[in-house]
A and B are shown apart, each in its own frame.
Chain A
Amino acid sequence: MQHKNQFVIETHNLEFGFGRKTSILKNINLKVERGAIYGFLGPNGAGKTTTIRLLLGLLKDPYHSVFLFGKNLLQKRIECLSKTGALIEQPSLYEHLTGFDNLEITRQLRRIPKERIEEVLETVRLSEAAGKKVKAYSLGMKQRLGIALALLSKPELLILDEPVNGLDPMGIMEMRELLQTINKRHNTTIFLSSHLISEVEKIVTHVGVISMGNILFQGTISDLYNLQKNELKIHIKVDNPASAVNLLKSSYSVVDNEASLSITIESKEEVNEIIRLLINSNLKIYEAVIESKDLEQLFLKMTNNYTVC
Chain B
Amino acid sequence: MIHYQVKNIYKMKELLAVYRTELIKTKNSFAFWLVILGALFIPAFFVSTIAWHWEDYVHYLVIDNPNPWNEYSRKLFNGVHFTFLPLLIILIVALVFNIEHKSNTWKHVFAMPIAKTKIFFGKYLSLVTLVFLLYCLMFIFYLLGGYLLGIWKPQFGFLNYSPSYMYGTIHTNIVAYISKSFITVLAILGIHFWLSFRIKNLFPTIGIGLGGVVLAIGMYISHWHSLIFFPYGLPVLMCNYAPGIDHFLTTFQQNSLIYFSVILMASYFDFIKFFRG
Contacts and interface: CB of A to CB of B under 8 A. Distances in A.
A86 interface: yes
A111 B103 contact: no
User: What band does the interface of chain A fall in when counting residues whose beta carbon is under 8 Å from B?
Assistant: 20 to 34
A105 B107 CA distance: 14
A104 B28 CA distance: 15
B111 A109 contact: no
Given A58-B277, A109-B21, A110-B113, A97 B107 contact: no
A90 interface: yes
A135 to B, nearest CB: 10
B114 interface: yes
Contact of A108 (B20, B111, B277): B20
A105 B25 CA distance: 8
B176 interface: no
Interface string A77-117: 11111101010111011111100010011101111000000
Interface string A34-75: 000000000000000000010011111000000000000000
Contact of B113 (A82, A88, A96): A82
Nearest to A90: B104
A234 interface: no
Given A56-B111, A109-B18, A94 B25 contact: yes
User: What band does the interface of chain B fall in when counting residues whose beta carbon is under 8 Å from A?
Assistant: 20 to 34
A130 interface: no
Contacts of B27: 96-97, 101
B105 A57 contact: no
Contact of B110 (A58, A84, A110): A58
Nearest to B118: A109
Contacts of B111: 56-58, 81, 84, 86, 88
B99 interface: yes
Interface in A148-204: 149
Interface centre among A84, A97, A149 (most CB of B within 10 A): A97
Contact of A59 (B109, B112, B276): B276
A92 B114 contact: no
Interface in B71-124: 99, 102-115
B116 to A, nearest CB: 9
Contact of B21 (A58, A84, A108): A108
A86 B108 CA distance: 8
Interface string B21-48: 1001101110000000000000000000
A151 to B, nearest CB: 14
Contacts of A92: 103-109
